[in-house]
Amino acid sequence: MAGALAVVVLVAGGAAVAVVQRDRPEVVHGAATAPPWQRPGVDRLDARAAAAGLENVWGRDLAMHVHTHLSITVDGEPVVVPGDIGHDADASFAAEIHTHDTTGIVHVESPTRQRFVLGQLFTEWDVALDATSIGSLGADDGYRLHAFVGGGEYEGDPAGIPLGDFERIDLVLAPSDETVTAPAAYVWPDEYR
């Protein structure tokens, strides 16, 4: 059961120590099935970045620095985009695409100017994204995935949406019979203006 607790007793130096562990969300094809979707552990940052075709650019000169805002709504509830996807300041790791906090602001920092897409963030995050689903939630569950870019509906696979500077990307997974409109425009904090 997701969210259940387990107590593990470890013996260290002759003393028993109880450690409380939470069960991890059920995983299907390497992606958590339903929100909340946590960021991969620090020990997996490099592997997840490589799976997304990204590399560690920590400390390198940058030719490109882009900020995109991502919001996700599932069945009317906002989903938190975790901080530190592809980023760990303590270990000096920053993939070209990463987050710092839970605002939904996605940072693209690269030593070369190139096209980066939303699917790379999701691969790095280890959450499935395709034309019909997020995680394992989608058409088979009676939902329809709607993607909006800058408030306008995006036709096609949202994994291919380019990450543009001050662009707004909204993913809404709603019952297939529900009428969906774009969420309210994101108001950028002053430090980004």
Q: Where in the sequence is the domain holding 108, given as residue range(s)?
A: 33-192
**Looking up tokens 């030593």, which residue turns up?**
111
Residue 8, domain member (yes or no) = no
pLDDT tens column, 27-62: 333 344 689 999 999 899 999 999 999 999 999 999
For residues 6 and 4, what is the distance between their CA atoms, to the nearest angstrom?
7
Q: Which residues pair with 105 in a beta bridge?
A: 69
114: in domain: yes
Structural domains of the chain, count:
1
- Tell me if 19 is assigned to some domain: no
Show the tokens assigned to 92: 């000096």
Position 22 pLDDT exceeds 60:
no
Residue 169 maps to a domain: yes
Long-range Cβ contacts of 187-191 (<8 Å, 24+ apart): 188/67, 188/69, 189/103
Range list of β-strands (E), the chain: 5-12, 15-22, 27-28, 31-32, 64-74, 77-79, 87-88, 93-94, 97-99, 105-110, 133-134, 137-138, 143-149, 152-154, 167-175
- Give the model's pLDDT for residue 13: 42
State the CB neighbour count (10 A cutoff) for residue 141: 14
CB 171 within 8 A of CB 158: yes
In the 8-state DSSP scheme, what is residue 50? H
| Calpha distance 50→47 (Å, rounded) | 5
pLDDT for residue 91: 82
pLDDT at 18: 35
pLDDT score of 33:
66
| Integer Cα distance of 17 and 35 in angstroms | 32
Question: 120 near 97, Cβ under 8 Å?
Answer: yes
Query: Is residue 42 domain-resident?
Result: yes
Q: For residue 17, tell me if it sits in a domain.
A: no
Give dist(CA 153, CA 156) in Å, integer: 10
Is residue 101 in some structural domain?
Answer: yes
pLDDT tens per residue, range 122-181? 999 999 999 999 998 999 999 999 999 999 999 999 999 999 999 999 999 999 999 999
Q: Is pLDDT larger for residue 30 or for residue 96?
A: 96
Contacts (Cβ under 8 Å, ≥6 apart) of 117: 159, 160, 161, 162, 163
Report yes or no on 20 lying in a domain. no
Say what the pTM is.
Answer: 0.82
